[in-house]
Amino acid sequence: MKKTLSLLTLVTLLTACAPAASKYEGISSRELLAECTTDMATEFHIHSHLTILVEGEELTVPTDIGIDHTRNCMSSVHTHNTSGVIHVEAPVEADFTLGDFFYNWDQPFDSTQVLDYQVDETHGLKMYVNGQESKLYDMLVMQSHDSIVLDYYLLADGPSPVPEDYTFAANE
């Protein structure tokens, strides 16, 4: 009886002390985007940088993508300014993709299109990550300090020279 009671006590204690299942368990990165969180909820925090070139001209990545000033909260993937830095600040670690960022921005993006610019008989699209060409496009899982370049170019001119990797500030 004493052994049974001790075992029962041990199981009860372990169950009581075990962490509760996270409300985010099993949720996809795309579903996490719908959560409006605050800085206090951040458990996973990385930054990547995005440069978009259209026929050699750099486009501005808008400020406040994924930020809801009315509710004073933000999506897990967002921007704070026009620097091109994409902030990933999530309540749990997840594989957030560049496609998730464009989804949050409500803009099209894949291997055939970026924003309103479509690959056609006169235009191409290349993606570079940290200076190396990548074919992952919207499926690219963003990593800390990735320098991502999307180059939409005239086929007659060829791709733009790949810009230098972005230099992140010490606190990024």
Average pLDDT over residues 99-124: 98
Quote the longest CA-to-CA distance of the chain: 85
Residue recorded with tokens 């719908």: 34
CA distance 99 to 117: 16
Greater pLDDT, 22 or 42: 42
What confidence score (pLDDT) does residue 37 get? 83
If you count them, how many residues does the chain have? 172
Count helices and strands in the chain by DSSP H and E runs: 3, 12
Domain parsing of the chain, residue ranges: 29-154
pLDDT in tens, 56-73: 999 999 999 999 999 999
| Cα–Cα distance for residue pair 159/142, rounded to 1 Å | 23
Q: Which residues contact 138 (CB under 8 A, 6 or more apart)?
A: 97, 98, 99, 102, 109, 110, 111
What architecture is the 29-154 domain classified under in CATH? Answer: Beta Complex (2.170)
Single out the residue of 98, 120, 122, 121 nearest to residue 110, CA to CA.
Answer: 98
Q: How many CA atoms lie within 13 A of 110 on its CB side?
A: 2
Residue 13 has pLDDT above 70, yes or no: no
Per-residue pLDDT tens for 147-171? 999 999 999 999 999 989 999 988 8
Instruction: Return d(Cα 6, Cα 89) in angstroms, integer.
Output: 44
Residue 128: pLDDT band with limits 50, 70, 90:
very high
**pLDDT above 70: residue 139:** yes
